[in-house]
Amino acid sequence: MDRRQQKSRDAIFQAFTSLLEQKHFNNITVQEIIDVANVGRTTFYAHFETKDILLKEMCTEIFNHIFSHELQSEKTHNFSKVKQGLEEKLTHLLYHLKDNKGNILGLLTGDSSDLFYRYFKEVLEMVFANYPECLPKNLPEDFAMNHMLGSFVEAIKWWIKMGMKKSREELIVYYLRAISFDK
């Protein structure tokens, strides 16, 4: 992708994020997105077939960064020098959710949340798959995976509902205790 294409894609993402802060996903039109992004309809459709695909691509970009294999030092946190187990990956995710809450809360709490959480769970499943030791051995793997993913998504919903008052680290401790299968 050349710089001009990347600039258009970024403008579409920014416009979409801005609109999600103001309106529900289902009430946003492609026309509004292209108006705010200041791009043409052809440019929008060259990047995204539908608004749902735009949401999926935006989620994919967010998740690819958060769950990259090599974590970097960032403005509000540094996970580059710690072991990179499941606990650290999930805590890193929570830092991004809270640091970008203005951009992400619309996705997490609006009428796009079911679609967002579906994409979120798909990515989380790939992350959890990298840590098979976290899955209980006495349950079918698909059942255990579904339980862990659903529990994590519900933990995030609870955290948001409670105003994100608990630290990210505290939430991960609560989650890991709640899914502990050896008790």
Question: Contact 16/50 with Cβ under 8 angstroms?
Answer: no
Q: Alpha-carbon dihedral of residues 48, 56, 74, 77, nearest 10 degrees?
A: 160
What confidence tens digit (pLDDT) does each residue in 56-91 have? 888 777 777 666 655 555 655 555 556 677 888 888
Q: Quote the pLDDT of residue 11.
A: 94
Question: Is the torsion defined by CA of 114, 115, 120, 122 positive or negative?
Answer: positive
Interatomic CA distance for residues 133 and 99, integer angstroms: 30
Instruction: Say what the pTM is.
Output: 0.71
Distance CA 31, CA 75 (A): 35
Residues 3-16: b if buried by 16+ CB within 10 A, e if exposed: eeeeebbebbbebb
CB atoms within 10 A of CB 166: 15
From CA 147, how far away is CA 161, in angstroms rounded? 21
Distance separating alpha carbons of residues 45 and 78, to the nearest angstrom: 37
- Condensed to tens digits (0 to 9), the pLDDT of residues 82-134 reads 667 788 888 878 887 777 655 566 666 666 677 777 887 888 888 888 888 88
